[in-house]
């Protein structure tokens, strides 16, 4: 049995409520994680069109700073126009230790915590910690897209500090997107601000 097959045997399956095409190709956990990293990079770029391209046409979104669910391209556009407005030097930090994975072959769900770090219009650093749940599947062209994205801001994560939180504290939040690999090591993007203020 390969490592990937062994990994799948330890991951809880789930059902996606009527949003996937049963003829979709099988999606792997690695493909879903790569799609999550693409979304993080797109959000960090501040380019709304790049973020929107990550979503399936019929994807459902409950964003970090809105209390309602949207499920149309127009409403997602409206949400990300609002979400990205007034934010500069955006970073999305994934807490790898919090990530949970569910897989049913046609879709992969990734749940965990992330923190949005950015400078506001006055140049003041801000942080918005949140819980996330992304559901990924392949579309008819074989491209991995977000089917569902639910995010909720929290005041603070638990008092016990994770490696990620210690790194944020030690670097004053000045580093790029963290990436979770198939092993427990952490990789930090090379676009790190080497001279934090």
Task: Tell me the pLDDT tens digit for each residue of 97-127.
Answer: 899 999 988 899 999 999 999 999 999 999 9
Helices (H) and strands (E) in the chain, counts: 5, 7
Task: In whole angstroms, give the CA distance from residue 109 to residue 138.
Answer: 13
Is 19 within a domain? no
Is 197 within a domain? no
Higher pLDDT, 186 or 81: 81
Task: In whole angstroms, give the CA distance from residue 17 to residue 152.
Answer: 21
Predicted confidence at residue 65, as pLDDT, reads 85
pLDDT digits (tens, 9 = 90+) for 128-147: 999 999 999 999 999 999 99
Is 194 within a domain? no
Predicted confidence at residue 147, as pLDDT, reads 96
Residue 118's domain is classified under what CATH number?
3.10.450.50
Query: What is the span of the domain harbouring residue 155?
Result: 24-188
pTM for the complete prediction? Answer: 0.70
Task: In whole angstroms, give the CA distance from residue 94 to residue 168.
Answer: 11
Is 175 within a domain? yes
Predicted confidence at residue 90, as pLDDT, reads 95
Residue 172 has pLDDT above 70, yes or no: no
Residue 161 has pLDDT above 60, yes or no: no
Name the band, by pLDDT with cuts 50, 70 and 90, for residue 25. Answer: confident
Please name the residue that has the structure tokens 């799948």: 8
Is 54 within a domain? yes
Domain count, the chain: 1
Virtual torsion, Cα 155, 157, 161, 162, nearest 10 deg? -130
DSSP H or E stretch at residue 178: strand 178-180
Q: Six-digit token pair at 132? A: 């996330």
Predicted confidence at residue 197, as pLDDT, reads 36
Is 35 within a domain? yes
Name the band, by pLDDT with cuts 50, 70 and 90, for residue 184. Answer: very low
Residue 32 has pLDDT above 50, yes or no: yes
Predicted confidence at residue 155, as pLDDT, reads 77
Count CA within 13 A, CB hemisphere, residue 47. Answer: 9
169: which DSSP letter? Answer: H
């Amino acid at each position: 049995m390969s490592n990937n097959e062994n990994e799948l045997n330890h991951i809880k399956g789930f059902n996606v409520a009527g949003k996937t095409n049963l003829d979709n190709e099988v999606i792997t956990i690695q493909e879903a994680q790569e799609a999550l990293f693409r979304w993080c990079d797109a959000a960090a770029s501040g380019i709304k069109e790049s973020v929107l391209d990550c979503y399936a046409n019929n994807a459902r979104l409950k964003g970090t700073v809105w209390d309602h669910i949207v499920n149309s391209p127009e409403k997602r556009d409206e949400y990300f126009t609002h979400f990205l407005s007034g934010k500069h030097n955006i970073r999305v930090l994934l807490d790898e230790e919090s990530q949970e994975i569910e897989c049913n072959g046609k879709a992969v769900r990734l749940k965990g915590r992330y923190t949005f770090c950015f400078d506001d219009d006055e140049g003041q650093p801000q942080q918005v910690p949140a819980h996330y749940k992304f559901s990924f599947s392949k579309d008819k062209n074989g491209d991995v897209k977000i089917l569902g994205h639910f995010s909720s801001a929290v005041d603070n994560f638990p008092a016990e500090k994770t490696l990620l939180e210690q790194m944020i504290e030690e670097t004053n939040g000045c580093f790029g997107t963290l990436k979770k690999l198939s092993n427990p090591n952490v990789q930090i993007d090379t676009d790190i601000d080497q001279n934090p203020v």
